[in-house]
Structure 1
Amino acid sequence: MTDIVVPKLNTNDTSYTLTGWLIPHGDPVSAGDVIAEIETSKAAQELTSTGDGVLHHTIAAGAECRCGDVIGRILAEREPEPRAAAVPAVRGEGPLITEPARARAAELGISDARLRDLGKSVIRSKDVELLAAAAQDTTHTFSRTQRAVAAVVSESHRTIPAAFAAVTVRVEDALAAARHLGRRHSRFVGLPELVVKALAGLRQAHPLMFAARLDEHTAALAPTANVGVTLDLGQGLFIPVVTGAEALTCVEIAEQLAAFKVKALDGTFTTADLRGAAIVLALHNDPDITLAGPIVFPGHSCVVALAGTRQELTLDADGQVRSHKIAAISVVYDHRVVNGRDAVAFLRDLKNALEVPAALTQIGDQAPC
């Protein structure tokens, strides 16, 4: 007999929801089969079978579960089901309403009939929140995703003594290089993709910017430059991770970011998409944003912010007025891990990489920009 144990899926959640069993109770399964789906505040995560046998559910779809809970068992075909195993609930007509969704609906006075009218096969907490928000004019109920963001922000402000530094970067050459790559590969490439690539290239020279503080004496250095990128397209804040960005071209990074935007819009992020960042790039690149100072996420030593691009007039060596396209890039850092001198050196190297972008864009592209 093999227990099906809920793994640790999200450090910010105390509980998850078993949104559905994908293989019925009593059916045979093989190692590697996807057997269930669990919802966290950020993503849906599929669970797979770790062995061959007959699947027995011990909790019903829609129930809450926690890390370490046993939600089912895989028995040998002739092995009797343990007497302690719960009889799984049989789903009736209509949608599956998860336990958190049902509890939240009860708090808000929303009937099952109104939930069924949504026309969805699975009703989650966020669906209840959206339904409640649509019916209220004077109050706003925070979604589960936003409550998870609030928990991270509160933890950051409580535990991380942060400092701040910023530089101005001339970005006309970087933007021209991005346009060249986009035309050559029929793929939109912008300044964020080049910043991701530039950040990844700084890991070895500035390891503490990619470190995770362990205690007063030590920090864990990241073996690879996994770069998290903030995305908020109206469905909540997500930080998907470009894994192994050092080995990727700017075009490959652009493809990943485009795929992440689709997942942000339709809510299909998995836990794997959001796990493992060693550094975070916060995109505040609306043209009207001149400077940004986001929080340092727990478990990281810094976060880099890209502000919007704008024109700036300067005097050249001959006293002539010149116009340049610039952007401010800032870093907020955990002062227990990184000192100001190190942060400034990191920003200076990032500025140089973007102002002379040939090394970033020639990798994987036969023609230099």
Structure 2
Amino acid sequence: MATDVQVPALGESITEATLGEWLKQPGDAVGRDEPIASLETDKVAVEVPSPVAGTLDEQMVAVGDTIEVGAIIARIAEGAGGKKAAPKEAAAPPPPPAAPADSAAQPLTLSPAVRRAVLEHGLDPSKIAGTGKDGRLTKDDVLAAAKAQKAEAHAPSMERAEPAPSAPAAAAPGERREERVRMTRLRQTIASRLKEAQNTAALLTTFNDVDMTEVMEARKKYKELFEKKHGIRLGFMGFFVKAACLALRDVPSVNAQIDGDEIVYHDYVDVSVAVSAPNGLVVPVIRSADQMSFAEIELAIADFGKRAKDGTLSMDEMRGGTFTVSNGGVFGSLLSTPIINPPQSAVLGMHRIEQRPVVLPDGSIAARPMMYLALSYDHRLIDGREAVTALVRMKEALEDPMRLLIDL
């Protein structure tokens, strides 16, 4: 008896997805609720579980196909009645150990990023131990294998082992190569939304800089006690989210949005936090951040970061949001003009901290840990005075964190 596997409901307003990867191949045994395929939606990757235990009998769609909710993508033969993998001939020679990653004989399913890394480093993916789900290769696995191979090649040895069979030939000097990789649905959505923001909103960015001395002193003084009590490290984002909440309360238009010919004001602050994921940037939402403690904010951000890397964030967790905080400083950015996340009207861009000479109130000059802040906003709704006022409120709260505690 065969059971159809259908595309599950993917969330409100999402009607289709792209098949990103088959996790099981025809003939493979599968357990009930075991993932057999990964779908890419506009926001996250979603795994499709098998509704029954049995054997994957047939794949109905190919990787890269766009499929609608409810469509049949595979059939599972219950019990042992599924299609079996073809038996190997006793005298059949093993496949070449260094077959290219995209060879038709290669049984591994590699993501575009992993395939690119394999080709760049000339590695045999079948000889790399995968640490991903169900033993799948990740880009980090490939990079670690390349690093180990390089270290081994440079290590002194009295007796050198016979060289391994050659990997796919590297590009000859002067040779120019190209590779075309289909954009993921997530990347297409990011591109579309960013362009939509530029085409629709009247974008403007205002800048300021903040002396991070007091925040850094507070973290240094309390980090051990904070971690001991709450089980999480006291980071910078908690300070910035709290400072943003304080500023948005004083300047509510920065926390509002345009809906047709109306302005929607919110009496809560749902902060979208930009998090780097393997397939692009995602923005999970900290609900009612204005009502949360430092520890609750830090725990939420740490959880989002981990699950973004694992690909387990849900679409509901990325829906909504009234204001965004994006930290380009973790990648070394000194200054940028972030683009708002529609229908939101503003986004705060954080940047790297660096020692710069600063003139102090007494006229002396000292080196201080400074960070540039950028607030991009929709000028249709937010006037320059309001944007600058909100950014100054954040600067004041960060330079004197006591304001965050006594609600100033």
Instruction: Assess same fold via TM > 0.5.
Output: yes
For 2:336, what is the secondary structure of its paired residue?
coil
Deviates more, 1:184-193 or 1:331-340: 184-193
Q: 1:311 to 1:44 in 2, by over 3 A?
A: same
Partner of 2:43: 42
Partner of 2:245: 200
In the aligned structure 1, how far is the partner of 2:178 from the partner of 2:344? Answer: 38
Partner of 2:75: 89
Partner of 1:261: 305
Q: 1:180 to 1:93 in 2, by over 3 A?
A: farther
RMSD over equivalenced CA pairs, Å: 3.8
Partner of 2:143: none
Q: Deviations over 1:213-251 (max 9, x none)?
A: 112x31222342111111225542111222211121112
Contact 2:44 2:313 in 1 (8 A): yes
Partner of 1:210: 255
Contact 1:166 1:330 in 2 (8 A): yes
Q: Deviations over 1:286-315 (max 9, x none)?
A: 485322111112211011101111222233
Residue 179 of structure 2 corresponds to residue 139 of structure 1 = yes
Deviation at 1:162, TM superposition (A): 0.2
Deviation at 1:10, TM superposition (A): 6.8
Structural mapping, 1:111-126, within 5 Å: 114=106, 116-118=107-109
Query: When the two structures are aligned, how many residues end up with a matched partner?
Result: 300
Deviation at 1:39, TM superposition (A): 4.4
For 1:344, what is the secondary structure of its paired residue?
helix
Equivalent position amino acid for 1:179 in 2: K
Equivalent position amino acid for 1:180 in 2: K
Q: 1:17 to 1:341 in 2, by over 3 A?
A: same
In the aligned structure 2, how far is the partner of 1:41 from the partner of 1:354? Answer: 35
Q: 1:87 to 1:252 in 2, by over 3 A?
A: closer
Which of these residues, 212, 216, 241, is aligned with residue 171 of structure 1?
A: 212
Deviation at 1:143, TM superposition (A): 4.1
In the aligned structure 2, how far is the partner of 1:154 from the partner of 1:93? Answer: 48
Partner of 1:331: 375
Partner of 2:195: 154
Equivalent position amino acid for 1:173 in 2: E
In the aligned structure 1, how far is the partner of 2:265 from the partner of 2:9? Answer: 28
Q: 1:6 to 1:87 in 2, by over 3 A?
A: closer
Structure 1 residues without counterparts, runs of 5 or longer: 21-35, 48-58, 72-85, 95-108, 364-369
Q: 1:171 to 1:287 in 2, by over 3 A?
A: farther
For 2:352, what is the secondary structure of its paired residue?
strand
The alignment's TM-score, normalised by the length of structure 1, stands at 0.68
Q: 1:341 to 1:192 in 2, by over 3 A?
A: same
For 2:240, what is the secondary structure of its paired residue?
helix
Contact 2:248 2:255 in 1 (8 A): yes
In the aligned structure 1, how far is the partner of 2:258 from the partner of 2:8? Answer: 29
Q: 1:87 to 1:208 in 2, by over 3 A?
A: closer
Structural mapping, 1:311-326, within 5 Å: 311-326=355-370
Deviation at 1:319, TM superposition (A): 3.1
For 2:343, what is the secondary structure of its paired residue?
coil
Q: 1:141 to 1:169 in 2, by over 3 A?
A: same
Q: 1:323 to 1:174 in 2, by over 3 A?
A: same
In the aligned structure 2, how far is the partner of 1:279 from the partner of 1:17? Answer: 32
For 1:203, what is the secondary structure of its paired residue?
helix
Partner of 1:271: 315
Q: 1:244 to 1:60 in 2, by over 3 A?
A: farther
Q: 1:181 to 1:87 in 2, by over 3 A?
A: closer
Contact 2:238 2:297 in 1 (8 A): yes
Deviation at 1:346, TM superposition (A): 0.6
Which of these residues, 257, 273, 280, is aligned with residue 229 of structure 1?
A: 273
In the aligned structure 1, how far is the partner of 2:258 from the partner of 2:340? Answer: 12
Deviates more, 1:341-350 or 1:174-183: 174-183
